[in-house]
Structure 1
Amino acid sequence: MKKNFYIRSVLSVILLMHSVASIFSGDVNNFGRLYLDTIGFSPFGLYLAWAVKLIHLFSVVLIWSDRYVMGVALFNIPVLILGIYFIHWQNGWYVVGGGTNGIEFNVLLICCFLQLVFTEYPSPKK
C-alpha cells in the first residue's frame, strides 16, 4: 500500500469536490470578482480565484498518480492559510455546530498536508 493512502485519498476527493463544484456552478468567477476584487485584489481577483481552483484540480491528478506529493502539499498549505486569513478567521473556529464557516476544516487540511510533507518518500531515481 502506498504511503499515506487514506490521507491522500480523502485530500484528493476534498480538493476535487471543492474545485469542480465551484467551477461548474460559476462560484469561482463570483468569488474572484465579487469578493477578491472588493478586498483589494482588483483587477487580479478573478485570476487568483482561478489559480486556486486550478492548483486544487492539478493537485488531485498529482496525488492520484503519486507524483510530486510533497510539492502538492507545499502549494496547498499557503492557499489554505490565506483562506483562513481572508475568509474564515472572522467566523471563529467551528465550521458547523458552534458557528459557521470557521477555520477548523482548513486547519485539519493543513495538518493532513503537513503529514505528506514530513513523510519520507523514496527517490524516483533509485
Structure 2
Amino acid sequence: MKKNFYLRSALSVILLMHSVISVFSGDVNNFGRLYLDTIGFRPFGLYLAWAVKLIHLFSVFLIWSDRYIKAVSICNMFILILGIYFIHWQNGWYVVGGGTNGIEFNVLLICCFLQLIFTKQEEKCCS
C-alpha cells in the first residue's frame, strides 16, 4: 500500500471533482472570463483558469505514480494560496456554518500537500 493512501485518495477525489466537473459544466470558462478577466488578468484569465484545472487534473496521476510530488504539491499550494488571496479571504474562515466560502478548506488542503512533501517516499528499487 502506498504511503499516505487515505490522504492521496482524498486529494485525488477533491482535485478530480474540482477540475472535471468545472470543465464539463463550463464553469472554468466563466471563471476565466467573468472573474479573472475582471480583476485584472485580462486577456489571460481564461488561460489561467484552464491552467489551474489542468494542473489539478494532472496532479492526480502524478500523485498516484509517485512522481514530482514536491512540484505537484508546490503548484497546488500556490494555486490554493492565490485562491485564498483573491477569492476566500474576504469571506473569513468558515466554508459553511459560521460563514460561507471562507479559507478553512484551502488551509486544510495546503496542510495535506505539505504532508505529502515531508513524508519520506517509498524506495523505488529492489535488489
So what's the TM-score if we normalise by structure 2? 0.94
1:8 matched to which residue of 2? Answer: 8
Name the aligned partner's letter for residue 69 of structure 1: I
1:77 matched to which residue of 2? Answer: 77
Q: Is the 8 A contact 2:3 2:122 kept in 1?
A: no
How far has the Cα of 1:26 moved from its partner? 0.2
How far has the Cα of 1:75 moved from its partner? 1.1
Query: Kindly, what percent of the aligned residue pairs are identical?
Result: 82
Task: Work out the CA distance in 1 between the residues paired with 2:5 and 2:40.
Answer: 39
How far has the Cα of 1:122 moved from its partner? 4.1
List alignment gaps of at least 5 residues for structure 1: none
Task: Work out the CA distance in 2 between the residues paired with 1:119 and 1:34.
Answer: 39
1:50 and 2:50 matched: yes
Task: Work out the CA distance in 2 between the residues paired with 1:109 and 1:38.
Answer: 27
How far has the Cα of 1:20 moved from its partner? 0.5
How far has the Cα of 1:65 moved from its partner? 2.2
Report the RMSD for the aligned CA atoms in angstroms: 1.3
Task: Work out the CA distance in 1 between the residues paired with 2:70 and 2:3.
Answer: 12
List alignment gaps of at least 5 residues for structure 2: none
1:30 matched to which residue of 2? Answer: 30
So what's the TM-score if we normalise by structure 1? 0.95
Q: Deviations over 1:61-98 (max 9, x none)?
A: 11122322222111100000000000000000000001
What secondary structure does 1:41 align onto?
Answer: coil
Alignment of 1:93-108 (within 5 A): 93-108=93-108
Aligned residue pairs: how many? Answer: 126
